[in-house]
Every structure is written in C-alpha cells, then in structure tokens.
Amino acid sequence: MEAAVEPLKGRRIYLLLRERISSGALAVGDRLPGEPTLAAEFGVSRMTLRRALDRLVQENMLERRAGVGTFVHDRDMPHRLRADLSDVFANLREMGRQSSVRLLNFAYVNPPDTITAALNLPSGSRTQRSERVRMMDGVAFSHLTTHVPEAIGATYSEAELASTPLLGLLERSGVVADRATQTMTATLAGPDVAEALEVEIGAPLLSLTRVVHDRDGQGVEHLHALYRPDRFTFQMELLRTGRLGSRRWRPLVASDQPDTSPATESRSRPET
C-alpha cells in the first residue's frame, strides 16, 4: 500500500513547490532547504522528495549547484494569454493575432445529439468537426474542438483552417456572429489532450463550451476549448450599478469608458 501512496505524495510535493515558485513565495535565487529538511517537512522519504525536485529541475524551475544546494532558477516564463469574458468576439480576433495554430483533425461527421440541439440543427445533420491546438511562442496553451454546420464548413478548406482563425472564415462565408452562450468549468486532461498540450494525464485544465449564434438565432459554431491554467487566464472587469439597496455588478463594456477622442471633444464644445 505504501508503495502505491508514495507517487501520490511525490506529485503533491511537486505541485506545492511549483505553486510556491509560480506565486513568488519562493523567489528567483532563493535556496531551498536541504533534502533531509524538506523530506521531514513533507513527511516523505528522500527518494520521493528527490523525484519531485528532479521534475522541477527538468521544467527549469529549479537549478542544482553541486556542493552548494538547490535554487529557484531565473527562467523565462512562458507568455500567459488573458481573455476578456465580457467581449467574446474581440477576444477571439485578438487571440488569432497573437497565437499560431496546429490542425490535428478535419472531418465531416454526424455530431452528438447535444451538439445538434445546441446548434439548432435538424436531426441527421452533419457538421464540419476540427481539432486544433493553439500555441504562443511555439508552446501549446489550448486544445479546441469545433463543430460548424456542414453548409458553412464547406466554404473553407482544411488548409485555410490551419492558417486562418475560424471566426474570420465564418465571416467570409457571410455568417454574422451576433451572440454567444458560454459556460466554464474545470476538468482533467485525458490521454490525447494531455499529449497535445504537453501535460500529464489527469492534469487540471480550464474547460469552456461556447455556442455562437447568428442574428436569426441559428447556431453557427460549437466550441469546446481546454486551456492550460498556467498559460491562459480569463478575466472580467465589473462595474457596480443600480440604486442603493439594489446595486449589482455587471460587465464593464466599451461604452462605460470615457471617450476622449478629438471628435468627441469637438462635439462637446458650444457651436460658434
């Protein structure tokens, strides 16, 4: 039983130390306590502790200096993208500019019933299904699975999807994306996604499902996206509104920002 528990203890130590380094609790250049001290702190054998430290060294988060000790390494942290949840479509365009994509799969399929219903498609309809990995500076941060109604998917090729953001291809086909519904949760990486995102099987991921509709309420895209939380974050600016006693938070939008453009200033002056 103890042999089965030790790997779990090692992973826990790895995650704890990784979090301390990522949060800055252990700063660059800090020297870690010696292995006997750390092993006693975590209540594990030195062998288990060493496995956790070895992994952090491999990830370039720690550096061993012979005869001196183990130190937090000064490394170039991968750029972390941030998405504004209050402006879905602007975020999609910006992400397309900042990142590159690798197409894993492209096919026409009969989607699951849940996707057929979400897109408001007739029973038996086919969709263009694709799997893609988005990367920043050559490092994967998201795994995307999209379903698009067949008639829309037929307007672009596999090569175009591998080089052009999907939203741009949809707009080129005449689709006018009007609104989107999205839900967020957390999940664990399965074998295929773990390989694509270069994480361990069972690693925690952010999960987002988004259904995009046109002006007529017809579904035009179903997206299931999985994000590495160490390389991607969601944020939303909120504004406190309403009268005293019934105030609430709502997403901050562009119209809430003061317009200081010359044209606005000119209009605000009395006519002469």
Condensed to tens digits (0 to 9), the pLDDT of residues 159-187 reads: 999 888 888 899 899 998 888 898 999 99
Sign of CA dihedral 74, 197, 138, 99: negative
Report helix, strand or coil for 192. helix
| Residues forming CATH 3.40.1410.10 domain(s) in the chain | 81-235
* DSSP assignment letter at 2: H
Which residue stretches of the chain have pLDDT < 50? 1-2, 4, 261-272
User: In this predicted structure, what is the pLDDT of residue 265?
Assistant: 37
How many C-beta neighbours within 10 Å does residue 32 have?
19
Which helix or strand (DSSP H or E) is residue 48 part of?
Answer: helix 46-58
User: In this predicted structure, what is the pLDDT of residue 97?
Assistant: 61
**Looking up tokens 């894993």, which residue turns up?**
104
The encoded tokens of residue 181 equal 């519904």
| Residues forming CATH 1.10.10.10 domain(s) in the chain | 2-72
Global pTM value: 0.68
CATH of domain 2-72: 1.10.10.10
Strand 177-188 and strand 232-235: pairing?
Answer: unpaired
Superfamily the domain 81-235 falls into: Chorismate lyase-like (3.40.1410.10)
Cα–Cα distance, 225 to 140 (Å, whole number): 13
Which helix or strand (DSSP H or E) is residue 132 part of?
Answer: strand 127-136
